[in-house]
Amino acid sequence: MDKEKQYEQFLGIKTDEEQIVFGNTKKLKYSLYEASEYEGLEQIFDLVSLKPEDTLVDFGCGMGRVLFYCNQRFFCKVKGIEYDRKIFEKLLDNAEFYHVRFGGQREKFTLLNMKAEDYDIAPEDTCFYFFNPFSKNILEDVLARIIKSVDEHPRRVTIIFYYCTYDMMSAIREFPCKLEHIVKLPEYRLDPDEKAYVYSYEVGE
Protein backbone atom coordinates (compact mmCIF):
# COMPACT_ATOMS: atom_id res chain seq x y z
CA MET A 1 0.00 0.00 0.00
CA ASP A 2 1.41 3.40 -0.97
CA LYS A 3 1.83 6.32 1.45
CA GLU A 4 -1.21 8.19 0.12
CA LYS A 5 -3.56 5.30 0.91
CA GLN A 6 -1.87 4.59 4.23
CA TYR A 7 -2.44 8.14 5.45
CA GLU A 8 -6.03 8.24 4.20
CA GLN A 9 -6.84 5.04 6.06
CA PHE A 10 -5.01 6.15 9.20
CA LEU A 11 -6.77 9.53 9.30
CA GLY A 12 -10.13 8.04 8.31
CA ILE A 13 -10.65 10.50 5.46
CA LYS A 14 -10.93 10.61 1.68
CA THR A 15 -9.22 13.54 0.00
CA ASP A 16 -7.70 12.01 -3.13
CA GLU A 17 -10.46 12.81 -5.62
CA GLU A 18 -9.14 14.69 -8.64
CA GLN A 19 -10.42 16.82 -11.49
CA ILE A 20 -13.20 18.50 -9.51
CA VAL A 21 -13.92 21.85 -11.12
CA PHE A 22 -14.88 24.69 -8.81
CA GLY A 23 -15.00 28.45 -8.81
CA ASN A 24 -15.11 30.64 -11.89
CA THR A 25 -12.69 28.73 -14.12
CA LYS A 26 -13.43 30.94 -17.12
CA LYS A 27 -11.91 33.90 -15.31
CA LEU A 28 -9.34 31.68 -13.58
CA LYS A 29 -10.08 33.07 -10.15
CA TYR A 30 -9.94 29.62 -8.59
CA SER A 31 -8.18 26.36 -9.44
CA LEU A 32 -8.99 22.72 -10.05
CA TYR A 33 -9.14 20.61 -6.93
CA GLU A 34 -5.87 18.88 -6.15
CA ALA A 35 -4.54 17.67 -2.80
CA SER A 36 -1.02 18.23 -1.48
CA GLU A 37 0.93 14.97 -1.43
CA TYR A 38 1.47 13.50 2.01
CA GLU A 39 5.18 13.01 1.30
CA GLY A 40 5.43 16.70 0.50
CA LEU A 41 3.63 17.57 3.74
CA GLU A 42 6.10 15.44 5.66
CA GLN A 43 9.00 17.31 4.07
CA ILE A 44 7.52 20.73 4.82
CA PHE A 45 6.47 20.05 8.38
CA ASP A 46 9.75 18.41 9.26
CA LEU A 47 11.03 21.99 8.85
CA VAL A 48 7.98 23.89 10.13
CA SER A 49 7.14 22.75 13.63
CA LEU A 50 3.79 23.83 15.06
CA LYS A 51 2.71 23.90 18.70
CA PRO A 52 -0.71 23.04 20.14
CA GLU A 53 -1.39 26.75 20.68
CA ASP A 54 -0.64 27.58 17.02
CA THR A 55 -3.43 28.02 14.48
CA LEU A 56 -2.91 26.95 10.88
CA VAL A 57 -5.16 28.52 8.24
CA ASP A 58 -5.47 26.70 4.90
CA PHE A 59 -6.89 28.93 2.18
CA GLY A 60 -8.69 26.79 -0.38
CA CYS A 61 -8.46 23.80 1.94
CA GLY A 62 -10.45 21.47 -0.31
CA MET A 63 -11.38 18.28 1.52
CA GLY A 64 -9.08 19.06 4.42
CA ARG A 65 -5.97 16.94 3.97
CA VAL A 66 -3.58 19.58 5.36
CA LEU A 67 -5.91 20.32 8.27
CA PHE A 68 -6.20 16.71 9.38
CA TYR A 69 -2.52 15.98 8.83
CA CYS A 70 -1.34 18.97 10.88
CA ASN A 71 -3.85 18.51 13.67
CA GLN A 72 -2.93 14.84 14.02
CA ARG A 73 0.81 15.55 13.91
CA PHE A 74 0.97 18.66 16.13
CA PHE A 75 -2.43 18.78 17.87
CA CYS A 76 -2.57 22.41 16.72
CA LYS A 77 -5.70 24.39 15.96
CA VAL A 78 -6.69 24.50 12.29
CA LYS A 79 -8.99 26.62 10.13
CA GLY A 80 -10.12 25.58 6.68
CA ILE A 81 -11.42 28.17 4.20
CA GLU A 82 -13.25 26.58 1.25
CA TYR A 83 -15.45 28.46 -1.20
CA ASP A 84 -16.98 25.64 -3.24
CA ARG A 85 -20.09 24.24 -1.53
CA LYS A 86 -19.84 20.69 -2.91
CA ILE A 87 -16.22 20.34 -1.82
CA PHE A 88 -17.06 21.91 1.54
CA GLU A 89 -19.71 19.23 2.11
CA LYS A 90 -17.07 16.54 1.48
CA LEU A 91 -14.81 18.37 3.94
CA LEU A 92 -17.54 18.20 6.59
CA ASP A 93 -17.99 14.48 5.95
CA ASN A 94 -14.25 13.93 6.38
CA ALA A 95 -14.30 15.94 9.59
CA GLU A 96 -17.02 13.75 11.09
CA PHE A 97 -15.09 10.55 10.34
CA TYR A 98 -11.86 12.13 11.63
CA HIS A 99 -13.40 13.21 14.92
CA VAL A 100 -14.76 9.73 15.53
CA ARG A 101 -11.26 8.32 15.15
CA PHE A 102 -9.39 11.12 16.94
CA GLY A 103 -11.61 12.23 19.79
CA GLY A 104 -11.02 15.46 21.66
CA GLN A 105 -9.87 17.53 18.67
CA ARG A 106 -13.22 18.88 17.45
CA GLU A 107 -12.87 22.19 19.28
CA LYS A 108 -9.58 22.82 17.49
CA PHE A 109 -11.30 22.83 14.08
CA THR A 110 -12.94 25.81 12.37
CA LEU A 111 -14.35 25.05 8.90
CA LEU A 112 -15.72 27.97 6.88
CA ASN A 113 -17.60 27.93 3.57
CA MET A 114 -16.56 31.34 2.28
CA LYS A 115 -14.27 33.24 -0.07
CA ALA A 116 -10.67 33.63 1.05
CA GLU A 117 -10.85 37.39 0.55
CA ASP A 118 -13.79 37.58 3.00
CA TYR A 119 -11.96 35.89 5.86
CA ASP A 120 -10.81 38.26 8.63
CA ILE A 121 -7.30 37.33 9.77
CA ALA A 122 -7.49 36.62 13.51
CA PRO A 123 -4.78 37.50 16.06
CA GLU A 124 -4.36 33.80 16.91
CA ASP A 125 -3.60 32.79 13.29
CA THR A 126 0.10 31.93 13.09
CA CYS A 127 0.57 29.73 10.02
CA PHE A 128 -0.94 30.18 6.55
CA TYR A 129 -1.00 27.52 3.83
CA PHE A 130 -1.60 28.06 0.12
CA PHE A 131 -1.62 25.44 -2.65
CA ASN A 132 -2.11 27.67 -5.70
CA PRO A 133 -5.77 28.18 -4.75
CA PHE A 134 -6.73 31.35 -6.61
CA SER A 135 -5.63 34.31 -8.73
CA LYS A 136 -2.76 36.68 -8.02
CA ASN A 137 -5.13 39.55 -7.18
CA ILE A 138 -6.89 37.54 -4.50
CA LEU A 139 -3.59 36.31 -3.12
CA GLU A 140 -2.25 39.86 -2.88
CA ASP A 141 -5.37 40.91 -0.99
CA VAL A 142 -5.05 38.01 1.47
CA LEU A 143 -1.32 38.61 1.99
CA ALA A 144 -1.91 42.30 2.63
CA ARG A 145 -4.41 41.44 5.34
CA ILE A 146 -2.01 38.95 6.92
CA ILE A 147 0.70 41.61 7.10
CA LYS A 148 -1.78 44.15 8.50
CA SER A 149 -2.87 41.69 11.17
CA VAL A 150 0.71 41.03 12.27
CA ASP A 151 1.45 44.76 12.38
CA GLU A 152 -1.61 45.31 14.58
CA HIS A 153 -1.12 42.19 16.73
CA PRO A 154 2.64 41.53 16.77
CA ARG A 155 3.60 37.87 16.41
CA ARG A 156 5.69 35.69 14.14
CA VAL A 157 3.77 34.00 11.35
CA THR A 158 4.72 31.37 8.79
CA ILE A 159 3.42 31.45 5.21
CA ILE A 160 3.70 28.27 3.15
CA PHE A 161 3.29 28.01 -0.62
CA TYR A 162 2.99 24.47 -1.97
CA TYR A 163 3.82 24.34 -5.71
CA CYS A 164 4.71 28.00 -5.96
CA THR A 165 3.74 29.40 -9.37
CA TYR A 166 5.24 32.48 -11.02
CA ASP A 167 2.17 34.55 -10.06
CA MET A 168 2.46 33.48 -6.45
CA MET A 169 6.17 34.32 -6.39
CA SER A 170 5.56 37.74 -7.92
CA ALA A 171 2.84 38.41 -5.33
CA ILE A 172 4.89 37.45 -2.28
CA ARG A 173 7.81 39.60 -3.46
CA GLU A 174 5.60 42.65 -2.96
CA PHE A 175 5.59 42.05 0.80
CA PRO A 176 8.33 42.23 3.47
CA CYS A 177 8.47 38.49 4.15
CA LYS A 178 11.62 36.49 4.82
CA LEU A 179 12.32 33.30 2.87
CA GLU A 180 13.12 30.50 5.33
CA HIS A 181 13.10 27.31 3.27
CA ILE A 182 12.78 26.00 -0.29
CA VAL A 183 11.54 22.41 -0.27
CA LYS A 184 11.93 20.16 -3.31
CA LEU A 185 8.70 18.18 -3.49
CA PRO A 186 8.42 14.50 -4.48
CA GLU A 187 7.90 15.17 -8.21
CA TYR A 188 10.69 17.75 -8.46
CA ARG A 189 12.78 15.63 -10.85
CA LEU A 190 9.89 15.54 -13.30
CA ASP A 191 8.80 19.13 -12.81
CA PRO A 192 11.25 21.79 -11.50
CA ASP A 193 8.26 23.87 -10.32
CA GLU A 194 7.43 21.16 -7.78
CA LYS A 195 8.76 23.15 -4.85
CA ALA A 196 7.35 24.60 -1.65
CA TYR A 197 8.46 27.97 -0.32
CA VAL A 198 8.28 28.77 3.39
CA TYR A 199 8.28 32.41 4.46
CA SER A 200 8.10 34.13 7.83
CA TYR A 201 7.01 37.59 8.87
CA GLU A 202 7.09 39.54 12.10
CA VAL A 203 7.22 43.23 12.90
CA GLY A 204 10.77 44.53 12.63
CA GLU A 205 12.11 41.39 10.95
CATH of the domain at 52: 3.40.50.150
pLDDT of amino acid 186: 83
Q: What number of residues does the chain have? A: 205
Total domains in the chain come to 1
pLDDT < 70 regions, the chain: 1, 17-33, 204-205
pLDDT of amino acid 27: 41
Quote the domain boundaries for residue 146: 41-201
Closest to 66 measured CA to CA, from 96, 111, 25, 32: 111
Q: What is the pLDDT of residues 109-163, one digit of tens each?
A: 999 999 999 999 999 999 999 997 788 899 999 999 999 999 999 999 999 999 8
pLDDT of amino acid 44: 96
pLDDT of amino acid 138: 92
CA distance linking residue 28 with residue 30, whole number of Å: 5
Question: Does residue 34 belong to any structural domain of this protein?
Answer: no
Question: Does residue 194 belong to any structural domain of this protein?
Answer: yes
Question: Does residue 14 belong to any structural domain of this protein?
Answer: no
Question: Does residue 32 belong to any structural domain of this protein?
Answer: no
Amino acid at 112: L
pLDDT of amino acid 158: 98
pLDDT of amino acid 140: 94
Question: Does residue 5 belong to any structural domain of this protein?
Answer: no
Question: Does residue 184 belong to any structural domain of this protein?
Answer: yes
pLDDT of amino acid 33: 61
Question: Does residue 82 belong to any structural domain of this protein?
Answer: yes
Closest to 21 measured CA to CA, from 10, 35, 32: 32
Q: How many other CB atoms sit within 10 Å of the CB of residue 61?
A: 29
Question: Does residue 8 belong to any structural domain of this protein?
Answer: no
pLDDT of amino acid 63: 95
